[in-house]
Structure 1
């Protein structure tokens, strides 16, 4: 009886261990899932990578010597963008053959959001130059734009919150940072896809539906039309700023965004968003500018041949 009891206990322990192993097993890379770091998040990146999310928005504040510190408050020692986000993110990509995950097909989208009370142009420019230099130290892993040609990398970095950032970026022949666009940029020359490859708007800017009731037909039509226009213009679409309602209501909005083909859905609720997108993937997801195969080598361009036109391929 004792032997049988021990055998039974061992069997139960084995099942529990197997269950824990399965629960810890990493899921597929969720290119459409984008995390919004909260101001009080001490170290936002590990949870994002552990859940397989395809992007992260972090608020930063310029500090001494142009260094960027996480959060909108006073700079805290050690809590820099370089130390907590850039270095570990790009080290992971370097250690995995140029990818953050084996099944990553499009770049991880890192959005650096300048916040805080310091808004003078000189301070912001100095902070951008610091960011630009930090990124150039990892150039081989980053998406870049050179002479209006986009080349994807493991990570695409965009900035928001800097006044006149488009004019600043447009002066660089080779850049590793992109601006964020809006639906108002579609069909205009103010911010071409090579400068602002991703349309990024808060939900409340154009929509009033909160997910508690069925979506109005006119709002659904507008959402599908805007996403289709952005894709036709060679850009991806990121929607953030969803209503802070119950998860059931947010899940209803996530479902509508996925059905419309929104490329990137941003939310504070990382766990809920990841679980939802694993069950309900974004409709018609197409990697218009996929990362190259891990073992493939890029052929050298012909000395006198024309360069391929890649201006409308979003990153």
Structure 2
């Protein structure tokens, strides 16, 4: 009988220790640092990509959307499905989280969360793409207080910065708005461009394979490393951040070698579909943050609802 009680007590102690350990691991997981350099690339068939991004603490997401009926942008493959919208699955939970945290997605967030909305779909005529942007613009204005914006050429950071891709003339659409809540994506060719200033194109975003041939399986060639460092420095000197995506498909070890080189060169954002591997890598090898113009205020301002921008007598309302 005494042996039975001892065994039972020992099992209870082991169970209690396991419970405490599990709780500690869960708490440590919840308190993981915000990975501003980590950017998730949602797969076309992923209809709810945001929870995994939150879980892994990544600081950005590229999500493909297709314009559909009822003034909505839809996620996922096939015909638009009710409820599978950008508004419901991405924008609403994203900004609800920011409001619940006093204007930040995480306590240690220092730069905006980077949401890239990629307009996709087989219909590519100008009217459809214009309608897609108008839908996005209207939905973003519902969350104006938490968004990075640009007012008459003067950018101001917010909890979330939205960029738009997939529209050929998106720069013209954005430049026509005196007050806007979205930005265009750029390339290294935009460095020094007066027609694409950093207030319109704040981030350079290129696939790795556009300028580099190294696949991570062997040591990086010295000339490619020099080119990478030089291009990142030039972008920073021009007031722009840099995101690199489109890494070679291959073993995670090879991609991790490329991630390491990107971090060492000062690349601000590394984008990959391998969210889990990228998050683990960035926690072990943090990327030094470039001190640009996009840093959030020391204290976030909590607002219950967005404040409408005051009208100006001399403002011309131009169509977009």
- Do both proteins adopt the same fold according to a TM-score greater than 0.5, normalized to the shorter chain? yes
Change (3 A) 1:44 1:222: same
> Which residue of 2 is the match for residue 304 of structure 1?
none
The separation in 1 between residues aligned to 2:139 and 2:189, in whole angstroms, is 31
Matched, 1:82 2:84: no
> Which residue of 1 is the match for residue 23 of structure 2?
21
Matched, 1:279 2:284: yes
Matched, 1:9 2:14: no
> Which residue of 2 is the match for residue 185 of structure 1?
190
**Secondary structure, in 3 states, of the residue corresponding to 2:90?**
helix
**Secondary structure, in 3 states, of the residue corresponding to 1:294?**
coil
State whether residues 60 and 72 of structure 1, in contact with CA within 8 Å, keep that contact through their aligned partners in structure 2.
Answer: no
The separation in 1 between residues aligned to 2:105 and 2:63, in whole angstroms, is 18
Report 1:105-124 matches (<5 A): 105-124=110-129
Change (3 A) 1:292 1:221: same
> Which residue of 1 is the match for residue 140 of structure 2?
135
The separation in 1 between residues aligned to 2:86 and 2:106, in whole angstroms, is 22
Structure 1 stretches of 4+ with a deviation exceeding 4 A read none
**Secondary structure, in 3 states, of the residue corresponding to 1:266?**
strand
**Offset from partner CA, 1:109-132 (integer Å, 9 cap, x none):** 000011111101101111111110
**Offset from partner CA, 1:127-154 (integer Å, 9 cap, x none):** 1111101000110000000011111110
**Please, which moves more after superposition, 198-207 or 286-295?**
286-295
**Offset from partner CA, 1:263-311 (integer Å, 9 cap, x none):** 00000011100000000011354364321133679xxxxxxxxxxxxxx
Say which of 164, 174, 181 aligns to 1:176: 181
The separation in 2 between residues aligned to 1:63 and 1:120, in whole angstroms, is 14
> Which residue of 1 is the match for residue 312 of structure 2?
none
State the 1:76 CA deviation: 2.0
**Please, which moves more after superposition, 275-284 or 137-146?**
275-284
Gapped regions of structure 2 (runs ≥ 5): 303-320
Say which of 13, 28, 42 aligns to 2:47: 42
The separation in 2 between residues aligned to 1:154 and 1:178, in whole angstroms, is 14
**Secondary structure, in 3 states, of the residue corresponding to 2:219?**
coil
Change (3 A) 1:13 1:287: farther
**Offset from partner CA, 1:148-197 (integer Å, 9 cap, x none):** 11111100000001011001100000000000010000011121000010
**Offset from partner CA, 1:44-84 (integer Å, 9 cap, x none):** 00110111100000001111144211135432221110010
Gapped regions of structure 1 (runs ≥ 5): 298-315
Give aligned pairs, total.
297
Question: What is the RMSD of the two structures over their aligned residues, measured on CA atoms?
Answer: 1.5
Matched, 1:229 2:234: yes
The separation in 1 between residues aligned to 2:85 and 2:209, in whole angstroms, is 31
**Secondary structure, in 3 states, of the residue corresponding to 2:185?**
strand
The separation in 2 between residues aligned to 1:4 and 1:287, in whole angstroms, is 62
State whether residues 191 and 238 of structure 2, in contact with CA within 8 Å, keep that contact through their aligned partners in structure 1.
Answer: yes
Change (3 A) 1:280 1:295: closer
> Which residue of 1 is the match for residue 35 of structure 2?
30
Q: TM-score, with normalisation over the residues of structure 2? A: 0.89
